[in-house]
Homo-oligomer: A and B are copies of this chain.
Amino acid sequence: MNNELITKGQAAKKAARILAKLDTATKNKALATIADTIIEHESLILTANQQDLEAGRANGLSEAMLDRLLLTSPRLQTIAHDVRAVINLPDPIGEEFESRRLPNNLRISKRRIPIGVIGVIYESRPNVTIDISVLCLKSSNVAILRGGKESIYSNKALAETIQAGLQTAGLPADCVQLIESTDRALVKEMLRANGLIDMIIPRGGAALHKFAIENATVPVITGGMGICHLVVDQTADLSKVLPVTVNAKVQRPSVCNALDTLLVHQAVAAEILPQVAEALAPYKVELRCEPRALAILQNQPFVRAAGETDFDTEFLSLVMAVKVVDDMAEAIDHIYLHGSSHTDAIMTEDYGAAQQFVDEVNSAVVMVNASLRFNDGGQFGLGAEVAISTQPLHARGPMGLQELTTYKWVVLGNGQVRG
């Protein structure tokens, strides 16, 4: 195994024992110090960021990519503000739940504890370095970070800033560690670093998640890809359908909870589809339609026939697949066959249809009469979001601080023995 990974992993394990014992006030003080240090280190961070931007330009990164890389004084102010916001979030560690007294008078409960060392593998945006570090700190987990090669200088400066903040607050700098090697082979080694890393969160596209699933021996939280559906039932209220469809598709088309596929009940398709197309036309949303939908929409702008893969695609752009379905059963079957268990919603005014949809669709987030865009830790009131999980184990949907914890059973007795 790579020496940097071994050294940092062992230091992480040591720091995790210290971090697990800290009280909330100490962690909050460190968060405040980190926020202050980010402001103090502004010129150091922005200078490092310039190095990444120059390298990025030299390597021909797109303007959109360069913008994701860019740090500015106002962006650092926002980042520091977000760090301070974490101070006000409730500390999940130490909460006891499912407490009970057994017939033999043993008292048992589950108590939330940190997971330990969390490895995070991410791509270009350097603000993730701060986000993840402070959420791990608040939940008493050590973070081992492996960012993208294109943001390495920024990430180093940010990690040093966090470590300086930790030390000023009297905590070990090892609570947050950045892997500085940009060797691609190291990603696979992180995924197999059992004994040093307790959980891996990949933050990136479908290819990274696939790589993680195929190679990880450390437990990994997968998700990230959303092929998200909106079903328009025959009883749907058009005055809700149009704003929800537009919001779900265009409010931020590049993210995983944006709408990909619209499924419309055949009884209302002829009435509703043209109005949906008209509502989306100002945003130039391209509609890729199966034959029945195409027959209705063929005279609209931005309409074309759907290709073979369009109903299995996360568009991340102003494109939407459209299909007319015979009934609710066909809609639910379509989601089962083509969905990615991320976010799926129905528009309906029918009690039974709403119940059936919520009962039978088992995506991480299932909605009735609401925009898919609400699938978000902040929107759900979790205060923060580490990732959105679409896998069945440990956590599903938006993951906040609580989802960065595990539990131990505490059993308090008075000399009881088993008969």
Q: Which residues of A contact B (CB under 8 A)?
A: 17, 20-21, 100, 102, 106, 108, 111, 113, 115-116, 194, 198-199, 213-214, 216-217, 219, 237, 239-240, 243-244, 246-248, 251, 336, 345, 354, 358-360, 362-371, 373-376, 379-381, 391-394, 396-398, 406-418
Contact = CB atoms under 8 A, between A and B. Distances in A.
B370 A106 contact: yes
Nearest to A215: B217
Contacts of A362: 20, 113, 408
Contact of A102 (B247, B358, B381, B417): B381
Contacts of A413: 367-371, 374
A393 B199 contact: yes
Contacts of A244: 415-417
Q: Give chain A's interface secondary structure class.
A: mixed
A217 B214 contact: yes
Contacts of A373: 417-418
Nearest to A100: B381
Contacts of A396: 406-409
B368 A411 contact: yes
Contact of A251 (B106, B397, B418): B418
B406 A392 contact: yes
Counted per complex, copies of this chain come to: 2
A393 B369 CA distance: 33
A374 B106 contact: yes
A334 to B, nearest CB: 14
Given A243-B417, A359-B21, A371-B416, A199 B411 contact: no
A376 B108 CA distance: 12
A186 B8 CA distance: 37
B217 A415 contact: no
17 contacts: A100-B381, A108-B381, A199-B393, A219-B219, A219-B391, A219-B393, A237-B415, A239-B415, A251-B418, A354-B412, A367-B410, A371-B417, A374-B413, A374-B418, A392-B406, A394-B394, A396-B407
A362 B391 CA distance: 26
B217 A365 contact: no
A27 to B, nearest CB: 15
